[in-house]
Structure 1
Amino acid sequence: MGTSNVGLPELYFLLRGLGWTLILTGFGFVGGILFGLVVALARVSRRRLLRWPAKAWIVVFQGTPLLMQLFVVFFGLPLFGLDVAPWLAVAVALTAHASAFLGEIWRGAIEAVPLGQSEAAHALGLKYPSLMRDIIMPQAFRLSLPATIGFLVQLLKGTSLAAIVGFIELSRAGQIVSNQTFQPLLVFGIVGIFYFLLCWPLSLWGSRMERRLAQAAR
């Protein structure tokens, strides 16, 4: 059986897969930011009723593979009468996965802010919402930025697991084109270049931010 060329239709199909990879990454990261902030604030709360569920959430989603989480969401929700589309199942799983990791990253950043600043704010009569919004969180965000960017890179690559539940993102699109053209090295070389062009600038940005923080701390 002969091979066929990788032409414009195949490249367009790969670009469509790339678009869905970016969309899934965006959903997972934005959702992870929103829920991760809740998890982080619950983890540093003085109330056990908030700390323990947040800790359990982090332990579960950091201690299990993303692949298993995708399976549980995609095949588990229909057992409760919720029939979800593959893209929605992937977005939900990525959001839950990201919220656990980002929540723990930000929890560490919040606790890394010098305690004296919180004590000074309490002495000035600042309430907890103002303390977190105006003093703690801006500094914690700056401290956590390199690790947050690093996780974004991992999340982007993790979207390739969406193919397991039948969703066509970049990796799955590459597999389909490879099966049609019988040129796996060429096709997955192109797929790899796409991933590299997305991840490498983010990695450079994260490294640059880390160096800036290290210089500022001296």
Structure 2
Amino acid sequence: MFRTFGPNEVWYIVMAVQWTLLLSAVAFAGGAAGGIAIALARVSPIRPLRYFALAFIRVFQGTPLLMQLFLVFFGLNIFGVGINPWVAAAIALTLHASAYLGEIWRGCIEAVPSGQSEASWALGLGYRDRMSHIILPQAAKISVAPTVGFLVQLIKGTSLASIIGFVELTRAGQIINNATFQPLTVFSLVAALYFILCWPLSLWARHLEGRFAIATAR
């Protein structure tokens, strides 16, 4: 016997938003740490580091996020390493975010005019000082808009964590749909909540891109 779709069901789905946001925050924070390491490795003068970073990016950009979730969750369990869906989703999304943010930020670092590096060389600055005081602050300004744009994609990507049993927004919708058998109503609400989460960020990213374009034109 199916349940009716009422306030309790709506509230259950709405409350699942917190897990979508928490997973997105953890993945973005971990991806930011991994991404800056990958970006710096990509522009490093040390060749093995560049090759490792490039291989990492190609693996995680060249395979579906869904497969990455499967490999982390089921792969570790096969080897006897018990792991729950929350941890598996956080690890997989962190690795995924590291690859994408690393490539985004590598592009931003290389977008800084070469004259800045040449000037820092002329001043006798070493690699570390040049990156931390000259290159990275300028690259950070360039990176804000694409980074916010990627965050939107990451929030939507958390929906795939439902496939391994993590109860975020999409999984909560599936649970309520299985109980009420009202897919149009349930998933319309789920879609509306994703829209509420992502649309403001999309507008912000577009605004930042416009501001950067104006600043560059000047």
Q: Same fold by TM (over 0.5)? A: yes
Contact 1:6 1:181 in 2 (8 A): no
Shift of 1:216: 0.8
State percent identity of aligned pairs: 59
Amino acid at match of 1:113: V
Contact 1:3 1:183 in 2 (8 A): no
Contact 2:2 2:179 in 1 (8 A): no
Q: 2:178 aligns to what?
A: 179
Contact 1:145 1:209 in 2 (8 A): yes
Amino acid at match of 1:67: L
Q: Which 4+ runs in 1 deviate beyond 6 A?
A: none
Shift of 1:157: 0.3
Shift of 1:126: 1.4
Q: TM-score by structure 2 length? A: 0.96
- The 2-side partners of 1:174 and 1:11 are apart by 9
CA RMSD of superposed structures (Å)? 1.2
Shift of 1:151: 0.7
Secondary structure at the aligned position of 1:167 is classed as coil
Secondary structure at the aligned position of 2:104 is classed as helix
Q: 1:120 aligns to what?
A: 119
Shift of 1:182: 2.2
Q: 1:145 aligns to what?
A: 144
Q: Any stretches of 5+ residues in structure 2 without a counterpart?
A: none
Shift of 1:15: 2.3
Q: 2:106 aligns to what?
A: 107
Secondary structure at the aligned position of 1:125 is classed as coil
- The 2-side partners of 1:32 and 1:3 are apart by 40
> Within 5 A, what are the aligned runs for 1:46-85?
46-85=45-84
Seen in structure 2, the aligned counterparts of structure 1 residues 16 and 127 have a Cα distance that, compared at 3 Å, is same
Q: TM-score by structure 1 length? A: 0.96
- The 2-side partners of 1:44 and 1:156 are apart by 28
> Within 5 A, what are the aligned runs for 1:195-210?
195-210=194-209
Shift of 1:122: 1.3
Contact 1:35 1:99 in 2 (8 A): yes
Secondary structure at the aligned position of 2:16 is classed as helix
